[in-house]
């Protein structure tokens, strides 16, 4: 009886524990400038293989091209380390089968310079569900460290293994940058999630968030929720957050390095930016949905106000139907209607 109760408990609890991480987008920062997501990498490749893209990829011409490139790579790559690295990457690529999420933010950090006149470090994050274990990751990094030391002419590879939220994280950088701790690439595997990115503080905060419950994150960004509620989520999603460009545009307006030279037409950097009206943009969302039939794309551009050139982007009511001269068997056709 106890065994039956225990089995029932596993059947109920285990699926929820496996899904505890939810969507990886929850762990991307809400203020990310650009993001990309894939819901299921294995399913995506299966749909691509069965659809028109698979037919193109497996066509005789493409097959010959791939074989030619593989042979040329084998001829030109005489370095045994490079060959082994390529083989390891090929083997690892088969161990990523679930979600993938990428985020790029901290654009404003590039505008700030330190005492050595170096720009700040942007925030880069790549997360992917994987079958790679922490032990396999450490073995690969130690191998890479040895190979770089043996083959590098000057700089070696600095590897630091640290504990963050009771998880092993490897921070990598060229040896010459040993004093600049923020300019590190962080790599880790925890709870079936592979992560890589930089700078150092970004990865430390990411690991702490993964070890706990996400607070906020991209998945709770109102613009993100609204744009994909409008166009659907698809299999692959891209999100561009224009609201984060405010500081960058202000910097371009005021910086001496970005000013248009004095000219008889009175054109200035500020005038160009004001005419473009980019500050009226909120976000851009794009989703791609694949199946055996082909691919469907949906996109939406959200604007808070129409200024400058954005006034031209005013769509008329009604659908844009295909023109009668478009053949029925074409690979792709696009029709748009704009009211200028």
Average pLDDT over residues 239-247: 87
Give the pLDDT of residue 292. Answer: 81
Give the pLDDT of residue 259. Answer: 87
pLDDT-based confidence at 152, cuts 50/70/90?
low
Give the pLDDT of residue 232. Answer: 94
Q: What angle do CA 89, 90, 94 make, to 5 degrees?
A: 105
> With 60 as the cut, is the pLDDT of residue 278 above it?
yes
Average pLDDT over residues 294-322: 77
For the stretch 37-64, pLDDT in tens is: 999 999 998 888 888 888 888 888 888 8
What are the residue boundaries of the structural domains of the chain, listed by start?
A: 24-216, 221-315+335-340
Whole-number Cα distances in Å, 82 to 65, 164, 188: 22, 31, 23
Residue 173 near residue 183 (C-beta atoms within 8 A)? yes
Higher local confidence (pLDDT), 13 or 29:
29
pLDDT-based confidence at 172, cuts 50/70/90?
very high
Whole-number Cα distances in Å, 64 to 68, 70, 76, 129: 6, 10, 18, 32
Average pLDDT over residues 122-131: 95
> With 80 as the cut, is the pLDDT of residue 309 above it?
no
> With 90 as the cut, is the pLDDT of residue 223 above it?
yes
């Amino acid at each position: 009886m106890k065994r039956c109760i225990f089995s029932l408990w596993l059947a109920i609890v285990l699926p929820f524990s496996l899904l505890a991480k939810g969507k990886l987008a929850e762990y991307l920062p809400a203020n990310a400038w650009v993001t990309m997501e894939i819901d299921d990498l294995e399913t995506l490749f299966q749909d691509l293989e069965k659809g028109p893209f698979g037919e193109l990829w497996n066509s005789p011409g493409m097959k010959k091209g791939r074989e030619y490139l593989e042979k040329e790579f084998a001829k030109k790559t005489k370095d045994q380390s490079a060959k082994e690295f390529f083989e390891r990457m090929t083997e690892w690529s088969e161990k990523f089968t679930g979600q993938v999420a990428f985020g790029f933010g901290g654009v404003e950090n590039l505008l700030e310079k330190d005492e050595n006149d170096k720009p700040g470090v942007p925030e880069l994050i790549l997360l992917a569900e994987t079958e790679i274990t922490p032990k396999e990751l450490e073995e690969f990094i130690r191998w890479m460290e040895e190979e770089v030391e043996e083959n590098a002419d000057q700089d070696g590879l600095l590897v630091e293994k640290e504990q963050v939220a009771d998880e092993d994280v490897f921070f990598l950088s060229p040896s010459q940058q040993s004093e600049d701790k923020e300019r590190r690439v962080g790599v880790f595997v925890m709870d079936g999630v592979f992560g890589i990115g930089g700078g150092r503080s970004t990865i430390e905060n990411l690991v702490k968030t993964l070890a706990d419950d996400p607070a906020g994150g991209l998945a709770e960004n109102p613009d993100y929720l609204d744009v994909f509620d409008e166009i659907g989520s698809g299999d692959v999603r891209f999100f561009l957050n224009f609201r984060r460009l405010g500081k960058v545009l202000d910097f371009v307006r005021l910086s001496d390095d970005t000013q248009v030279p004095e000219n008889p037409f009175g054109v200035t950097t500020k005038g160009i930016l004001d005419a473009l009206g980019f500050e009226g943009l909120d976000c851009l969302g794009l989703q791609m949905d694949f199946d055996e039939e082909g691919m469907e794309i949906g996109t939406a551009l959200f604007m808070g106000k129409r200024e400058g050139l954005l006034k031209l982007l005013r769509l008329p009511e009604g659908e844009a139907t295909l023109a009668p001269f478009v053949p029925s068997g074409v690979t792709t056709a696009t029709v748009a209607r704009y009211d200028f």
